[in-house]
Amino acid sequence: MVLQPEEWVRQHWLHYLITDKGYPASLINVEKELRVNGLKRRYDIVVFNSDGSMAVLVECKAPEITIDQKTFDQIARYNRSLGATYLIVSNGLQHYYCQMDQQAEKYVFLRDIPDFSR
C-alpha cells in the first residue's frame, strides 16, 4: 500500500498528539463520517476529552495544498457539528492552531495547543 500525501500528514499528527502532547491513543478517532448541511463528510482526526466532549479537531491536507480561507471555512463548518475546543489545520509544512470562542463564533490563533490534562 502506498502512503498518500494527506495520510503522511495525518500519521505525523497522530504521532505528535500521542508522543509530544500526551493525548491517549484511546481518546483519538480517525477518519469518521459526519453530516454537514445534510452532506456526508469525513474528518481527519478528533481527540476527545476524558468526559467524552470534543477537545481537538485536526484537518490534514497534502503538502502541495495551500492552506487558505477555504480550508478554515471547511474546518469551521465541521466544527459547528462537532464542537471541538481546539482546531488544527496542517499540510505538513504549515500548521495553524486555533482555540474556539463558541460565544462569539470565532477562533483565536495560538502558538500551539495545550498538552493533554486529565
By DSSP bridging, strand 54-60 and strand 45-48 are antiparallel
pLDDT digits (tens, 9 = 90+) for 41-65: 788 999 999 899 999 999 999 999 9
pTM: 0.91
Domain residue spans of the chain:
5-110
Domain 5-110, CATH: 3.90.320.10
DSSP string, 68-81: -HHHHHHHHHHHHH
Q: CA–CA separation, 51 vs 94, rounded Å?
A: 31
3-class secondary-structure state, position 83: coil
Instruction: Quote the mean pLDDT of the chain.
Output: 90
pLDDT digits (tens, 9 = 90+) for 95-110: 999 998 877 878 899 9
A 10 A CB-CB count for 108 gives 10
Residue owning grid cell 499540510: 91
Q: CA–CA separation, 79 vs 2, rounded Å?
A: 30
